[in-house]
Structure 1
């Protein structure tokens, strides 16, 4: 239902439009009919109004001024400019100032009816979209744990949650296409949300969504044929806020499993449980011996340790095509903690040794990232052990390489390649013999040379930053202050 306000200083014109609305549009409500524009503004301010039909030439306030005030007061209101043909210039000006449409006097009833029906469709569509957005925001808050329960009607209608992870480069067009295809199906309504971790599709249906699973699988196959490698999980029966949250978490477990193993497909919760059941007897400690690793670290057999790790990873890949990332991360951490404890018992690792790098295990989203994280953690342990060796030749070569190339955009991989070592072995050895990681050491070298350059008062701070290898002058200032306890500018001033 539209709520309408009429404004015209000609009483006859007002009565005529009121008569047309009463006879041909009884479903609409005339909130007020005013000969004085100021009185109309007061009414509009106090009431909900959808449409204002106003004359352009009035004694109390000109229609143009009325439109300006309406747009400031309630910009969502549709304004119709009412004018005689001889004053059509007012209509053109009104349209420029924000009027939605116009009517010429004398008004034909069909013109008024058509215009109001058009507005009704627009307003209903806007309100429907606004309601949907508010509803999806509420659902999103439930999914992310910000709210325990949502009051919107959708939660009891949702029968399934479909989740697509965030790692697709073409996530948005793919998500849009999925929503479009699903919405074309009979008895299935699809609501799409974009969360930071991926796209969520809430599927609502009067029928059995389980019976529609082949349809969704075919949909993803079609997308794959078009070159989109998709990993998505689907979980049925998500009635209620709690069920919605549970279903969402389950789909995230599914997509985490698919992403970790590099599998592109749509997988439902029941099938996922079958796959996990097959992995029940798989345990990581069958492939990584705590005792063997401790012995290698104790004897400084770093190269043998690296070879053993690579061999163990190959055995895992050969024996198990798809791993359960949840169990893999948990067992990896248990093995690392066991190794750390043994090294501390042997008194070659300090009891307060920090191994904060273990967080890399929990963050590993792919099999490759997990392998890299395990290597990093083990060689971090190796580097933290004390066995009193002098610096080997390759460490001295690495330090010389950094000194000669600090002004360039160098990184750990480049320096490791320069001394012909694997990056994991090199990183661990560098920290072992210098007491810090290479990035921190490189920054110290750069700041050392920056201090010399800053003695030249003609050099700008950003110029010095570029000369010592920093691409960002702000970051250079942050690093400089962290090391020297003063800004580069202050250091330069004090050096004069």
Structure 2
């Protein structure tokens, strides 16, 4: 934890810094300032997590410093040191989210107790941020993976996409068999993903998606870039991968997409370009630069289409498992993914052998059976918890799937105990 001490009295600054240093090696003194202006200079050049400041100081007092810190970075914690006479004055700083107050003179144990409490809060805050970043990254990658196969990003998650004017897709595959003594193919592709995302980040927003035998890099450009510019960038990335991993890879670059609806086609382009590069020993990169190559591109459509259908069905199954208590319908789900409900229902039945409604009720009845194992719960409560709004329809559907009514099922389970 980086701590900045601010007090106009030198002996107070020295005593505080010495106390903090002796308490734990985890606490780092980022600086010791004589007044608010000096503190702001340190804040601009050093990372600071906590500011411990006096109230009454020349040039810039503690309250003005609190206001400036709140505007500059409200995540920085502040502890105010104040004399008894200044306490009501110091309380004005509450609007700047001051974390704590210490009345002068304060002993070392009291100071360290406050710092320990704030250090723990910072640790928890950092952990929560990391969890949120991981969650955001996972959701983004899942939606971008679906988008490759024509599953649109639901309208309520559109804001998750990075800002872009155009998107290029880059497919990357090992040029030769990966030595299993070092790593397997997925580990190798994951290493390439990490390097690509980090190396490209200063120039484009890069997100890698792992497929079975290749890696797909989304390159979100805030400004429109030409294909030759992206080719030069891709070749530089190729050199970075080879020098860092000692792994030979082949790259396939798509044309640019101005809208996410173009992504499935651009993905097929980048796959085809990658295959062309794999067949050319002298080439590291191939680009899909000929818009008239319809026949060659169409050769990829059947395989990609089947993968796309599987992704759609996987998405539907996941939605049913997660949201079966909600008022789900095929039309609602179709609206969320911008697809025709009739087509959606057909591919679901082709894959699962059941209609959407039949499968949804199957999941609801399965969950109802588990809940009915608890003899204290009433049938009408189970009905509501698994997504049925009409108890009579729930009883009728339950009997259709199990051969008995919910009450009969619960009574039989109770008799078996």
Which of structures 1 and 2 has the bigger CA Rg? 1
Task: State TM-score, norm by structure 1.
Answer: 0.33
Greater relative contact order (Cα < 8 A, sep 6+):
2
Q: TM-score, normalised by structure 2?
A: 0.39
